[in-house]
Amino acid sequence: MAQLRELVKSLGWEPYRADQILNWVYKKFVTNFEEMTNLSKEQRRFLSENYSIHSLELVQKVEGGDSTKFLFKTTDGHLLETVLIYERDHLTLCVSSQVGCAVGCTFCATTQDGLVRNLRTEEIIDQFLQVQKHAPQKIRNVVFMGMGEPLANYENVRKAVEIMVSPWGLDLSKRRVSISTSGLVHQLRLMAQDPLMRELNLAVSINAPTQELREKLMPLSKTNTLQDLMETLYQFPYPSDRRIMIEYVLLEGVNDEEVHARQLANLLKKKRNKFKVNLIPFNPDPSLPYKRPSMERVYRFQKILWEEGISTFIRLSKGVDIFGACGQLRRKRLVLR
């Protein structure tokens, strides 16, 4: 907002022109400056010649039974994926924060291509703007669970969140914006001190109840240890009526045994009222060596956690049929069948 006001001022235009432009972009989702009919012809021409509304090119849209995946290209030729998820009574947009990912989780297809670069703020927001044009209703929920580690791109993600929740922007509720992280301890501590970011929904991928196993599945745990991560989460200043979501991807024969469930319960029960657990049966990908456990094993894992007083839910990911589910997004998958 402040930057646009300064631009309008430098051009010698009336200050309220900034509000008009923002309204066209974030409320009416126009695709070109010529649609901004309350600006003069000269102003529209100037904007068209010097600026662009969109920073991404829509390359492909793939429809699935419960979601739609969008493939975008950046101006420097890189590819990223965004998924629109159809919930029972609302729409959720899963946005990407990076091109690729450097975290290196062994069960995630996204990281197989490595990290190319962070997405800029406008590229994060443009995912919303372009998908909204194709959506059957207003998108009310946004989850930073697409390609990349959001907290590794902290400043750009924060600026995008500010646009998403501001009345002059997309005007979403802070309780409808979620950040999913693999557990970058330093950035989580920054988030805890940030009045804007700490009010968002927080989801943390644990995926293993011990340091040794977590290092094998998530190499970042070597420098962001499970102990440091849990201490940070214990102290995270979350409202008492909300809980941090612990995400746990279940891999058959790897982290889904009864002993793992009991170890996870011991990890969380110190402050059990601060957490809830999402069990995510592994979403298969031909490039990965793991298997999805049977639902019998998933239910057994859940039952043990419930018996230990840990609120635990099973999340059967949407978008599996179009490789748009958790851990399936890739920047090199051009044609989807």
pLDDT tens digit sequence for 178-189: 999 999 999 999
Instruction: Give me the helix-helix angle, 121-134 and 154-165, nearest 10°.
Output: 40
pLDDT band with cut points at 50, 70 and 90 for residue 321: low
Q: Say how far apart CA 126 and CA 122 lie, in whole Å.
A: 6
CA-only gyration radius of the chain, Å: 21
Pick the catalytic residue from 6, 49, 81, 155.
81
25 within some domain: yes
pLDDT at position 336: 43
Count up the domains in the chain and report the number: 2
Q: What are the two backbone dihedrals, phi and then psi, of residue 191, each rounded to the nearest 5 degrees? A: -60, -40
Q: Is residue 96 part of an annotated ligand binding site?
A: no
Q: Is residue 50 part of an annotated ligand binding site?
A: no
22 within some domain: yes
HEC per residue, the chain: CHHHHHHHHHCCCCCHHHHHHHHHHHCCCCCCHHHCCCCCHHHHHHHHHHCCCCCEEEEEEEECCCEEEEEEEECCCCEEEEEEEECCCCEEEECCCEEECCCCCCCCCHHHHCEEEECCHHHHHHHHHHHHHHCCCCCCEEEECCCCCHHHHHHHHHHHHHHHHCCCCCCCCHHHEEEEECCCHHHHHHHHCCCCHHHCEEEEECCCCCHHHHHHHCHHHHCCCHHHHHHHHHHCCCCCCCCEEEEEEECCCCCCCHHHHHHHHHHHHHHHHHEEEEEEECCCCCCCCCCCCCHHHHHHHHHHHHHCCCCEEECCCCCHHHCCCCCCCCCCCCCCC
pLDDT in tens, 8-56: 999 999 999 999 999 999 999 999 999 999 999 999 999 999 999 999 9
In this structure, are 193 and 103 located in the same domain? Answer: yes
In this structure, are 142 and 281 located in the same domain? Answer: yes
pLDDT in tens, 137-178: 999 999 999 999 999 999 999 999 999 999 999 999 999 999
In this structure, are 27 and 104 located in the same domain? Answer: no
Q: Is residue 149 part of an annotated ligand binding site?
A: yes
pLDDT band with cut points at 50, 70 and 90 for residue 287: confident
94 is catalytic: no
337 within some domain: no
328 within some domain: no
- Do β-strands 244-250 and 275-281 pair in parallel, antiparallel, or remain unpaired? parallel
Mean pLDDT value across residues 299-307: 97
Averaged pLDDT score across all residues of the chain? 92
pLDDT band with cut points at 50, 70 and 90 for residue 317: low
In this structure, are 236 and 184 located in the same domain? Answer: yes
pLDDT above 90 coverage of the chain, percent: 83
Q: What pTM was estimated for this model as a whole?
A: 0.91
pLDDT at position 328: 45
Q: Is the pLDDT of residue 216 over 50?
A: yes
- Do β-strands 98-100 and 115-118 pair in parallel, antiparallel, or remain unpaired? antiparallel
CATH value at residue 3: 1.10.150.530
34 within some domain: yes
User: What domain range includes position 288?
Assistant: 54-322
Q: Is residue 169 part of an annotated ligand binding site?
A: no
Mean pLDDT value across residues 245-262: 97
pLDDT at position 85: 95
Pair 69, 49: CB distance under 8 Å: no
Q: Say how far apart CA 256 and CA 250 lie, in whole Å.
A: 6
Burial pattern 285-302, b for ≥16 Cβ within 10 A else e, equals beebebebbeeebbeebb
Q: Is residue 224 part of an annotated ligand binding site?
A: no
326 is catalytic: yes
In this structure, are 39 and 124 located in the same domain? Answer: no
pLDDT in tens, 89-102: 899 999 999 999 99
Q: Is the pLDDT of residue 327 over 70?
A: no
Provide the residue type at 89 as one letter: D
331 within some domain: no
Q: Is the pLDDT of residue 330 over 70?
A: no
Dihedral angle computed from the Cα positions of residues 232, 261, 106 and 326, in that order, rounded to the nearest 10 degrees = -80
- Do β-strands 201-205 and 141-144 pair in parallel, antiparallel, or remain unpaired? unpaired
Q: Is residue 7 exposed (0-12), middle (13-18) or buried (19+ Cβ within 10 Å)?
A: middle
In this structure, are 203 and 314 located in the same domain? Answer: yes
237 within some domain: yes
pLDDT band with cut points at 50, 70 and 90 for residue 241: confident
Q: Say how far apart CA 324 and CA 84 lie, in whole Å.
A: 9
In this structure, are 137 and 210 located in the same domain? Answer: yes
Q: Is residue 148 part of an annotated ligand binding site?
A: yes
333 within some domain: no
Pick the catalytic residue from 94, 123, 247, 326.
326
Mean pLDDT value across residues 225-234: 97
| Between residues 328 and 275, the one the model is more confident about | 275
In this structure, are 298 and 310 located in the same domain? Answer: yes
pLDDT at position 323: 47
Pair 255, 303: CB distance under 8 Å: no
Own/partner pairs for 11-17, CB < 8 Å, 24+ apart? 11/46, 13/43, 17/43
> For residue 237, which of 177, 195, 180 has the smallest C-alpha distance?
195
